[in-house]
Structure 1
């Protein structure tokens, strides 16, 4: 039997990148004590106040069909939130609702690029970006990100890779996996390129509320001269510890939302009303869990850095936001994938190979900062012991 070309384009771009994580789950199911530092799962449950809203909405019968752009109350709440944070009026006509950031990205890229187009994206990148770019035949144009520049994507590096086929720049700020944050100056320079070459700017901002103390988040959506060519996507998955509710959105110009609406309606025809009610409450108030997560993740990143710097030959890149820290493991003599498998099988700690996020991280691994402090300390013990074994030292 024949399959559509999309199947070939996406082969090995899905679950195959998570083979170490899946192996860790297998070992845990067999009774092994595995410390899982692979995925970006919040370290607290969804706030009860929010789940109560969803449950109450279910009981009130908010289970019917929605409308194409999303429930009116949610779009209004998002419009108020973005108008306040961007210091400019953003109306509900500029917003489309989706089940999560991933679906929003898929729809946005499906609507803005097509076969033969190129999308410029930093390497490393979140593991699903290549798939959402390649789904309808577009090509990913990786822009290497250097630890020497804090893994921030730079306008001059983008400029060197622009071709006549370039159609969009996909940004992720704060950045997964490295925790880098783009400054306003970074965005202005990138925006000038986008204006010069008539490129879309797609900005994944799902970690916006997990910026560590002393750092500042900026969105290209807040820059007036970029507003018509910028689409920002986000969700409540990280900020409100609600990944399983799958509630996200895209914010662009009114013309963008109108043009993309038929595509959105073809995919899902709106979001779930009872989840929309919960999300409207979530985005209308400060998250009750984000501040605690920011503090804990920053402290664990600092602890990981202190321990590995003092007790091993491994190097840690200090994140400025998010749920992860990157560890350079090149001195072990292994690549990131082999290192991650060996660490899992011999020391019971699961981390993500850097290669899952792009070619530039072959000698790195990503460590999630999302287990409780005692388990995280145990994980540090095992990472140090493993590193000493590979350095020929007694563990």
Structure 2
């Protein structure tokens, strides 16, 4: 039988990137005890007030069809959030609601690029980015994020990657998997390059509230870049609510008008009771993000301290987010081989760097979303595993 080309473009770009995580879950289901440091699933629960609002809305009958753009209360809450952040007039006409950031990214990319277009994105990159780019028929063009620059994208590297087919810069700050946070000046420099080449900027800002120190900066907040910037975000990270799948896209009014039929064709609205909960989350104050920030910053320091004396390992402490990278290239193993051997030998599950692009091949990514004692024990096993590798016969690096 015949299939559409999209199935070929996305082959290997879905759950294949999470193969080790899936294998670890399967082993745990079979009775093994696994320390899971793979995905960014908060260990802090959503505030009880959000759960109460969700159940109140369900009981009130907020289970009927929504509209394609979003529920009025949520649209108003999002418009107020970004008006307050930018100091500009933002209305519901600048807002589109989606079931999570991933869906928002898919619709945005489908609306901005097509066959033979190019999307520039930093490498390392979040594991699903290549899929949302290639689904549209466009091609991913990697902009190297270098460890010596703290994984901050450099304007000269962006400029060097641009071709006549370039259409979009997909920007992620705070960044997954590195935890890098771009400053307003760095974003302005990148934005100047985008303006010269007439590029859209799609800014994934899900970790906005999880910066360990310093200020958050967005191209959407820069008045010189606002007309070419689309923000995608959600309550998954800010309010510890990933399973509720409540996200959005914010952009110019014309952009939202053009994308609305794409969104409506895909899903025609999300659940009203979840929209009510999200509006409540955005219009009330909670300490959830602050508690996560403190916990994740502490655990990142714990990892750095615990692995500081481990042979052939180099930690790269994050500036934000839920993850910490460790360079394992000096062990002679690729990040992929190291991660799988670590799981087999120590029952510690981490993400191989290869899931996050070519620049991360020599790394593993550790999640900060598990209790401190689990982090400490995992680091003890990782350090012991690295020592055993160096005590064994010399190895050559693997692809």
TM-score by length of 2: 0.97
Given the alignment of the two structures, is residue 349 of structure 1 paired with residue 348 of structure 2, yes or no? yes
Q: Residues 26-68 of structure 1: CA distance to partner in whole angstroms, max 9, x if unpaired? A: 1111111100000000111222110111111001000111111
Instruction: Report the more deviating stretch, 237-246 or 24-33.
Output: 24-33
User: How big is the shift at 1:311?
Assistant: 3.6
Q: Is the 8 A contact 2:306 2:376 kept in 1?
A: no
Cα distance in 2 for partners of 1:222, 1:28 equals 44
Structure 2 residue 76 is matched with structure 1 residue 76: yes
On the 8 A contact 1:239/1:289 being kept in 2, the answer is: yes
d(CA) in 2 for partners of 1:141 and 1:312?
34
Checking the alignment, whether the CA contact within 8 Å between 1:233 and 1:250 is kept in structure 2 is: yes
- Residue in 2 that maps onto 1:102: 102
Q: Check the 8 A contact 2:231/2:249 in 1, yes or no.
A: yes
Alignment of 1:33-44 (within 5 A): 33-44=33-44
What does 1:285-324 align with in structure 2 at a 5 Å threshold? 285-324=284-323
- Provide the residue aligned with 1:258 in structure 2: 257
Q: Is the 8 A contact 1:9 1:134 kept in 2?
A: yes
Distance 1:139 1:340 in 2: 29
Deviations 1:220-241 (A, max 9, x none): 0001111111000000001101
Mapping of residues 51-66 of structure 1, within 5 Å: 51-66=51-66
| Distance (whole Å) between structure 1 residues aligned to residue 73 and residue 311 of structure 2 | 53
Q: Which residue does 2:24 correspond to in 1?
A: 24
Shift of 1:147: 0.4
Q: 2:312, 2:329 within 8 Å by CA — same for their partners in 1? A: no
Q: Deviations over 1:235-269 (max 9, x none)?
A: 00011010000000000011111111111111111
Distance 1:6 1:311 in 2: 44
- Alpha-carbon distance between aligned partners in 1 of 2:234 and 2:208, rounded to the nearest angstrom: 10
Whether 1:388 and 2:377 are equivalent positions in the alignment is: no
SS in 2 for 1:203: strand
Counterpart of 1:277 in structure 2 is 276
The two structures have a TM-score, normalised by structure 1, of 0.98
> After alignment, is 308-317 or 341-350 more displaced?
308-317
CA distance in 1, matches of 2:136, 2:380: 45
Per-residue CA distance 1:64-84 (angstroms, 9 max, x = gap): 111111001001001111111
Give 2:373's aligned residue: 374
Residue equivalent to 2:45: 45
Equivalent position of 1:5 in the other structure = 5
Alignment correspondent of 1:230: 229
Structure 2 unaligned regions, length at least 5: 393-399
Cα shift readout 1:91-112 (whole Å, capped 9, x = no counterpart): 1110000000000000000001
Query: Distance in 2 between the 1:164 and 1:270 partners?
Result: 36
Secondary structure of the structure 2 residue equivalent to 1:271: coil
**Corresponding position of 2:396:** none
Secondary structure of 2:161's aligned partner: coil
Counterpart residue number, 1:172 = 172
2: distance between equivalents of 1:90 and 1:206?
Answer: 19
| Structure 1: 5+ residue stretches without partners | none
Secondary structure of 1:249's counterpart equals strand
Paired with 2:259 and 2:269, the residues of 1 have a C-alpha distance of 12
CA distance in 2: counterparts of 1:287 and 1:100, whole angstroms: 20
- C-alpha contact 2:339 2:350 (8 A) present in aligned 1: yes
Give the whole-Å Cα distance in 1 for the aligned partners of 2:178 and 2:194: 24
Whole-angstrom CA distance in 2 between matches of 1:139 and 1:18: 22
Matched-pair contact (CA < 8 Å) for 1:78–1:284? no
- State the partner residue of 2:90: 90
- Describe the SS at the equivalent of 2:16: helix
Q: Distance in 1 between matches of 2:51 and 2:6?
A: 37
- Between the aligned partners of 2:88 and 2:388, the Cα distance in structure 1 is 56
Partner SS state of residue 210, structure 1:
coil
Instruction: State how far apart, in whole Å, the 1-side matches of 2:20 and 2:85 are.
Output: 38
Q: Is the CA contact (8 Å cut-off) linking 2:101 and 2:232 kept in structure 1? A: yes
Cα distance in 2, alignment partners of residues 124 and 160 from structure 1: 17
1:312 Cα shift? 3.4
